[in-house]
Structure 1
Amino acid sequence: MTDAQPPQLSWAQRFRGAMLGGAVGDALGAGVRGTSTAEIQQWFGPQGVVDYLPVYGRRGGVTDLTQLTVFTLEALLRAKAANPGGNGWLPTEFVFTNYLRWLHTQGVPWDYAMSAYLSAEPAPTSWLLDRPELYSTRNPDGAAIALLGRMARRSPLGADGLLRPPTGADGLADCVAWAAPAMVWSNVPEAVYATGASTANLFTSAPNTISAAGMHGDVLAQLIRGVPLWDAVTASDRNRLGSAYQVREVPADVRRTVHAAMFVGQRGIRPSPSDIDIEFDTEEKPGELGIALAAVGSTRNFADAVRVAVNQSSDSAVTGALAGQLAGAIYGPSGIPAQWVGELELREIIEILCADATEAFAPPPPPQWAQRYSGGVRRSPGTRWRLAEHRRRLRRADHDHAGDHGVVGCRRHAPAGHPAAEHAHGEHRGADFPGGPRRNPGEAGGIRGDRPVEHRADPGAAPAVGRSTGRNHRGIHGDQRSCGCGRPGAVRTGAADRGLPTACHPPRGGRGRGAGRGIHGAGQAPGRSPADAGSGRGPLGIGRRAGAVGFRGVAAGRFRSG
């Protein structure tokens, strides 16, 4: 699939599609959960499962994955209601207590399930606990009931704020599926990633499971904002995997399975069940996430995506739920077959929660007046910041030049005919370089960090072609040429042919070479000076001159004279 996305889908539609799609994928794979590819094809033919199978006494029945996903979303709404002013924190405790409420629906007495919180909640308070359809045990041998039973006795929430999960086992892909509602928690990708990761961290300390849950929530958060699938995956992989939520070691298995998914999903052909079984390792590895990504990436509609995801040898309910969440966020509710949605168990509960979450978490629309001015080319905040910083440095360079010639204030306040008034933007700051001499505070005139110099421009003199730049000169334009003032070896910074300001740089005795990088363009000016060879980097370009260093640059030099 080439990231084909339906146009004009809102945040609310994509989010609702992700929640309904996850439940549909779970229900589609529930009937063959834990069944090998060979057995699936033996029972249902080469095409495998293509429709709901009767499970739990009905078509469209869901597993504990959808139940816990519902309780996760309700926990986020509880957290938002408790602190409506912001979401710059992790709602981990709210999620944990809601999972204990779910444990009660699986037949565990309230006094035992909520033993750590009985003083605050002696009786059930959640509206979900009034819904009889949730009181059904769907996976009694699964990890959720076993681990939450241990967590009810000993909370994983430490008094010091650290999580102490009951196991270190890896490969608990169930956590990845039911942590998916983290996608709505924040507009900050790092906060979304951390919310999903901390949800899995309640159950296990395994770095790959934790990171897979964080990455899945992060990718979903981007999808519901209209970001293409592989762009979202790449951004999460490069910018947040392993860093937005710290784990004890690098989540290498997550990265491997994601890269394998990108390879399979972008080939342009639909992978076979045997291809999936060979490519993705689900034995204590997060291969289920890779299967879901490959299934969605290699198909062009919701139905094909979840069918590819469930017809293979790993946990089909988990892969179906993960693929359904991803595909639902891409295609929206209208992309899900209407019959599947109509027969879906817990649909009403999911719809209620989606409506509440949209009201609580949806990004506000732009104001009415701004919609008239939203078109055209926009300058990125980083560009605005760099330009503002550049202008600030130019103003400071004016002031420094004037001060070096004994004039207080910038060049536009210098007397007419004064050399400071002829200087444009340039900066001489020997104190910014390691080992450079510093001028005494009371010393007037001269280049900062050096002896006073007398600089008289002779307009009638022939332009000097010199080889000189001083080590104390910090240029910001990265281009140096002959100054034209008549002083041998003098050069100018800037590029008049590009409309940039120029500034005079007096020569000094000796020979030296250096390299520096300024923030605009590139230039070279060898010269006669006791210069050190320095280097620095700036974000907008490359320049070479002795000891010069660009914006946010680093200078390192060795003194050499001859």
Structure 2
Amino acid sequence: MALWSRAQQQDFRSRVRGCLLGGAIGDALGAGIEFEALEQIRSAHGDAGVTGYVPAYGRRGTVTDDTQMTLFTVDGLIRAHVKRDSGAWHPPTDVHHAYLRWAATQRDWGPDERRADLGWLGREEWLYAQRAPGQACLTGLTGPDAERLGTVEAPRNQHSKGCGTVMRAAPFGLLAAWDPGLVFQLAVECSVLTHGHPTGYLAAGAFAVIIHAVARGGTLEEGVHLALALLSERPRHEETTAALRAALDAVRAGTPSAERVEELGEGWVAEEALAIGLYCALVAEDVKSGLLLAVNHSGDSDSTGSICGNLLGALHGETALPAELVAELEGRGTVLQLADDFVLELLHGPELHGTTGWNERYPAA
């Protein structure tokens, strides 16, 4: 990536920022209606459903565990790259440790200043809030067995395919210099830390590959076809493959609508959330219309909104995001700072690793 031109580096930075901000915006748009049926949403907000942020967890523009875990995924990936200098290179371990730090935000009142491993993200007090975290994420990262690293052969929560494995997987796709097959595999290996059903971790791998394609300047369709090809090589891929094909079929079925979204499912499980988020990104006339389509349905509105936002943000870059939604987003400064640090690490890591400030922000231990 160091050989990229300045224009390419600027484009990549915009896509990373767009992906993380877009996901957070979609998450916040769906947060206030996550557990409501479409009829309830329309009754409360009009026939068009929500058209902007509605209050959730005490304010407008609030994000949920989807954004929280996505940010800690980025933190884990940065630390993996920092540790690479020492010869230690196993990103799933670093992402696992990052998820354990996220789990601490779900039980502690605030950052434990005695912990040297928190880094700057773990000291962000606004992240210490429960926002309806998924049960598999919690059980996979808490309890006496929490330190055990789940693997594909011995995953955590082996029967779970909840969407919590997909909604945090976009950052793997932002490893733009990696081979798509490696991106897919890393997303799988980090999914089984909490979700062990093949559909759960394969959906995460597919999502990461689609993000990867658009982060490198490709189209959503190119990303989907590459994901389908990689899925075909994996056992028990059928549910995930069928969900992606259903999303493509829905694009050709006619005018986009909430009812058409609901034909793809409710989004509580991984393959349905991926299908809904992808469909809404594929048919979006602009970022805002795609995000609103992704959240106005009966089901897991914040997760489908987050997935759609990750896709559209990576596709179009941060300047395409609706300014009024960016301005009111909870934690915007944290999201942007982490996005920029991720880009700095990928583009200029060796120059940073010997500096005290960087090591304090992302301690390798």
> Does residue 197 of the first structure (1) align with residue 188 of the second (2)?
yes
Give the alignment's TM-score, normalised by structure 2. 0.85
Q: Structure 1 residues 309 and 140, CA, compared in 2 at 3 Å: closer, same or farther?
A: closer
Partner amino acid, structure 1, of 2:123: D
Could you tell me which residue of structure 2 aligns to residue 251 of structure 1?
237
Q: Structure 1 residues 270 and 27, CA, compared in 2 at 3 Å: closer, same or farther?
A: farther
Deviations 1:193-250 (A, max 9, x none): 1111111111122011100101111110110111011111111211x1153xx5xx32
Cα distance in 2 for residues equivalent to 1:73 and 1:299: 27
Could you tell me which residue of structure 1 aligns to residue 275 of structure 2?
290
Could you tell me which residue of structure 2 aligns to residue 319 of structure 1?
304
> Does residue 101 of the first structure (1) align with residue 87 of the second (2)?
no
Cα distance in 1 for residues equivalent to 2:75 and 2:263: 38
Could you tell me which residue of structure 2 aligns to residue 263 of structure 1?
249
Partner amino acid, structure 1, of 2:62: G
Higher helix share: 2
* Mapping for residues 47-126 of structure 1, pairs under 5 Å: 47-84=48-85, 90-108=90-108, 123-126=116-119
Residues 28, 52 of structure 1: 8 Å contact kept: yes
Cα distance in 2 for residues equivalent to 1:215 and 1:223: 13
Q: Give, in angstroms, the shift of residue 153 of structure 1.
A: 2.7
Cα distance in 2 for residues equivalent to 1:162 and 1:298: 34
Could you tell me which residue of structure 1 aligns to residue 169 of structure 2?
179
Unaligned residue ranges in structure 1 (runs of 5+):
1-6, 114-120, 365-562
Q: Give, in angstroms, the shift of residue 189 of structure 1.
A: 0.7
Could you tell me which residue of structure 1 aligns to residue 124 of structure 2?
131
Q: Give, in angstroms, the shift of residue 27 of structure 1.
A: 0.3
Could you tell me which residue of structure 2 aligns to residue 165 of structure 1?
155
Q: Give, in angstroms, the shift of residue 174 of structure 1.
A: 1.7
> Does residue 241 of the first structure (1) align with residue 227 of the second (2)?
no
Partner amino acid, structure 1, of 2:138: I
Partner amino acid, structure 2, of 1:310: V
Deviations 1:303-357 (A, max 9, x none): 0111010011120010000000001111211111111111111111111111111
Residues 264, 298 of structure 1: 8 Å contact kept: no
Residues 288, 314 of structure 1: 8 Å contact kept: no
Residues 261, 293 of structure 1: 8 Å contact kept: yes
Could you tell me which residue of structure 1 aligns to residue 355 of structure 2?
none
Cα distance in 2 for residues equivalent to 1:317 and 1:203: 19
Q: Structure 1 residues 163 and 331, CA, compared in 2 at 3 Å: closer, same or farther?
A: same
Cα distance in 2 for residues equivalent to 1:30 and 1:67: 13
Q: Structure 1 residues 215 and 123, CA, compared in 2 at 3 Å: closer, same or farther?
A: same
Residues 183, 192 of structure 1: 8 Å contact kept: yes
Q: Give, in angstroms, the shift of residue 171 of structure 1.
A: 3.2
> Does residue 304 of the first structure (1) align with residue 285 of the second (2)?
no
SS in 2 for 1:187: coil
Give the 4+ runs in structure 1 shifted more than 4 A: 84-87, 121-124, 281-285
Could you tell me which residue of structure 1 aligns to residue 362 of structure 2?
none
Could you tell me which residue of structure 1 aligns to residue 4 of structure 2?
none
Cα distance in 2 for residues equivalent to 1:91 and 1:100: 14
Cα distance in 1 for residues equivalent to 2:12 and 2:267: 32
Q: Structure 1 residues 242 and 157, CA, compared in 2 at 3 Å: closer, same or farther?
A: farther
Unaligned residue ranges in structure 2 (runs of 5+):
1-6, 350-365
Q: Structure 1 residues 106 and 264, CA, compared in 2 at 3 Å: closer, same or farther?
A: same
Residues 27, 344 of structure 1: 8 Å contact kept: yes
Q: Give, in angstroms, the shift of residue 270 of structure 1.
A: 3.8
The percentage of counterpart residues that share the same residue type is 31
Cα distance in 2 for residues equivalent to 1:187 and 1:362: 13
SS in 2 for 1:177: coil
Cα distance in 1 for residues equivalent to 2:115 and 2:268: 41
Aligned match of 1:231 in 209, 219, 222?
222
Cα distance in 1 for residues equivalent to 2:346 and 2:115: 30
Cα distance in 1 for residues equivalent to 2:324 and 2:30: 16
Q: Give, in angstroms, the shift of residue 15 of structure 1.
A: 1.5
Residues 157, 163 of structure 1: 8 Å contact kept: no
Aligned match of 1:155 in 111, 131, 147?
147
Residues 242, 250 of structure 1: 8 Å contact kept: no
Cα distance in 2 for residues equivalent to 1:162 and 1:38: 40
Residues 270, 299 of structure 1: 8 Å contact kept: no
> Does residue 340 of the first structure (1) align with residue 330 of the second (2)?
no
Q: Structure 1 residues 363 and 81, CA, compared in 2 at 3 Å: closer, same or farther?
A: closer
Residues 152, 189 of structure 2: 8 Å contact kept: no
Aligned length: 340
Cα distance in 2 for residues equivalent to 1:122 and 1:44: 45
Q: Structure 1 residues 356 and 330, CA, compared in 2 at 3 Å: closer, same or farther?
A: same
Cα distance in 1 for residues equivalent to 2:232 and 2:346: 26
Partner amino acid, structure 2, of 1:196: A
Deviations 1:516-549 (A, max 9, x none): xxxxxxxxxxxxxxxxxxxxxxxxxxxxxxxxxx
Residues 170, 204 of structure 1: 8 Å contact kept: yes
Give the alignment's TM-score, normalised by structure 1. 0.56
Q: Give, in angstroms, the shift of residue 265 of structure 1.
A: 2.2
> Does residue 144 of the first structure (1) align with residue 137 of the second (2)?
yes
Partner amino acid, structure 1, of 2:22: G
